[in-house]
Chains A and B, each alone.
Chain A
Amino acid sequence: ASFVPTLQDESVKAVMYLAQFGYLPAQMTNPNSGHLMSQDAMTDAIKEFQAFAGLNITGNLDKETVETMKLPRCGVKDKVGFGIDARSKR
C-alpha cells in the first residue's frame, strides 16, 4: 500500500506538519521529489504525534488529531529523528 499525499488535502497538510516537526523525513515536503510513503510509515508518524500530544493513539487522521495540528505552537521540532535539527543561527 502506498500513500499519495496529493490526493487528500488534510493528508497533505498532515504530512507537511509531521515532517516539519520531526515525525517524518523532511524530504516528504519537497514538491519536486515525488516521494511516496508507505501507509505504515504515515500511521506510525501519526501515532507518534498522537502519543506526544496526549491524544488517543489511533494512527488515523481523526478530527482530534487534525484539530491539534491546527493549534498555534512553537516551531521547534518535537522529535529529532530524521537528520540533525541544525538550522544555522547566523
Chain B
Amino acid sequence: YALQGTRWRVKNLTYKISKYPRNLPKADVDMEISKAFNIWSGITPLTFTKKKSGPVHIEVRFENGEHGDGDPFDGPGGTLAHAFFPVYGGDAHFDDAERWTVNSYRGTNLFQVAAHEFGHSLGLSHSDVRAALMAPFYRGYDPTFELNDDDVDAIQALYGLPKKTNNKPTPTEAPGEEEDAELCNDATVDTLFNSAEGVTYAFKGLHYWKLTEDSIASGYPRLISKSWPGLPGNIDAAFTYKNGRTYFFKGTQYWRYTGKKMDGDYPKQISEGFTGIPNNINAAMVWGGNGKIYFYKGSKFWRYDPTSKPPVKNSYPKDISNWEGVPNDLDAALHYTNGYTYFFKKGSYYRFNDRTFSVDVADPPFPRPAGYWWFGC
C-alpha cells in the first residue's frame, strides 16, 4: 500500500452529498455512500456522520466534464471518479456520465468506487496490490466484496485500530492465552447466537468466539470478516431461524447467511425485510417457547412471525418487564441448546425459565458474571 502523507487529525468526520447523480434514486445513493464509509469506520476509530447542509469534512458530488477543479471528467469509461487527500480537503467527485449501479453486474458499482475514493479522502494512495480496493483499476461488481489485508494495513497505519480492540494482538497471528483477555476483562458482548449446526458463537467488535460447553474453543477469537465474508463488525444482534439461515442486524441493515456464506445481495434494510421492527435493535432471538422471533430494544420488545400478516401484531411493542426479571437495554439474547433462554447485559447474564416465565431464582443468584460462567475466565 502507499500513504499519500497526510491524514485527518480528528476522528469524527462529517460528509454531505451536495450533488446527486442523474440515474440513481437518492435513497440508493445515500445507502451506497453510507456503506462505503462504513467499510473504513469498521476497522478504524473513525466515524462518519452525514449532514444535509453546512460545512463538512468530505463533500461528495456527481459532476460532468469540467467541474471546477481543473481535472475534468471524460464521459463514460476511462476515469470514473477522483478524490482529494486530506490536506486538499478530502472531497470525492464521481463522473456523472458513468452508469452508476447498485447490486448489479451492469454499469459501475457505486459502493465499490465510493469506498475506493474515500480511501483517498482518508489519505491512501493507490496500491500496487491488484486485489486491494486501493488498486487504481475498477474490477467489476463483486457481490462478496471485502477489504484486502493490504487496505486494512494501510488505513490502520494511519488511524490505528477501532477503540475497543486497540493494542490487542491480531488473533489469527498470535493464538494463545492472551486471546481470551478481551472477553475476560470485559465480558460485554454484541451478540450471541446458535448456528444451524448447533454451535454457539459470541460476537464482540470485529471478533468472534466459538463457545464450548463451559468455555471458549481454542484458537479464538477470530475476525468476523474472515469467516463471514461481507459481514461488518460491531453487530447489534443475530439469530438462526428454523430455515437454517442466520440473520445479522446492525443499525438500519441486516444480512442473511447460510452457514458462513452470504445469501445473495446484502445488506438490506430492516424496514424492508422485517416490517415492523425498528432499527438499531439491542438483541434478537428465536424463542423456544413458540419458535417466533423476538427483537429487543430499550425497554420494548417485538414479536415477529414471518408466517403472519402483518408479521408484527398491532399490540407490539410491549414492555420487556413482561419478561419477569429481565432488564431493559439488553446486549444479547439467546435460546440455548439446554432449553433455557439467556439474556446478556454489560458482562452479566440472566437465565430465563420458559416454564415459569421468569428469571430463575438460584444460588448464586442471577445476574451472574458471563465471563466466569460462559467464557471460562
Contacts and interface: CB of A to CB of B under 8 A. Distances in A.
B83 A68 contact: no
A15 to B, nearest CB: 16
Contact of B91 (A54, A77, A89): A89
B130 A73 contact: no
Contacts of A86: 88
A74 B69 contact: no
Given A87-B69, A87-B70, A74 B136 contact: yes
Taking residues whose C-beta sits less than 8 angstroms from the other chain, chain A's interface range is 20 to 34
A71 B71 contact: no
Given A53-B137, A87-B84, A90-B89, A74 B128 contact: no
A78 B136 contact: yes
Interface in B69-121: 69-71, 73, 77-85, 88-91, 98, 108, 113, 116-117, 120
A79 to B, nearest CB: 8
B282 interface: no
Contacts of A68: 137
A51 B129 CA distance: 11
Interface string A30-70: 00000000000000000000011110000000000000101
A2 interface: no
B126 interface: yes
A68 B82 CA distance: 18
Contact of A89 (B78, B81, B89, B125): B89
B169 to A, nearest CB: 32
B138 interface: yes
B79 A74 contact: yes
B79 A73 contact: yes
Q: Is the interface of A mostly helix, strand, loop or mixed?
A: loop
A88 interface: yes
B135 to A, nearest CB: 9
Nearest to A90: B89
Contact of A75 (B4, B82, B125, B128): B82
Of A21, A86, A90, the most chain B CB neighbours within 10 A belong to: A90
A54 B128 CA distance: 7
B70 A75 contact: no
Contacts of A73: 78-80, 136-138
Nearest to B116: A74
Given A73-B80, A73-B136, A76-B136, A54 B69 contact: no
A72 interface: yes
A74 B70 contact: no
A88 B88 contact: yes
A76 B93 CA distance: 11
A77 B79 CA distance: 11
Interface of A: 21, 51-54, 68, 70-78, 80, 85-90
Interface of B: 4, 69-71, 73, 77-85, 88-91, 98, 108, 113, 116-117, 120, 125-126, 128, 130, 136-138
Q: Which 5 pairs show the lowest CB-CB distances between chains A and B?
A: A89-B89, A75-B82, A75-B79, A72-B138, A71-B137
22 contacts: A53-B128, A54-B128, A72-B98, A73-B80, A73-B137, A74-B116, A74-B117, A74-B120, A74-B137, A74-B138, A75-B71, A75-B73, A75-B82, A76-B120, A76-B126, A78-B125, A80-B4, A85-B4, A85-B85, A88-B88, A89-B84, A89-B90
Given A72-B77, A75-B71, A76-B120, 7 more contacts: A54-B130, A73-B80, A73-B137, A75-B79, A78-B125, A78-B126, A89-B89
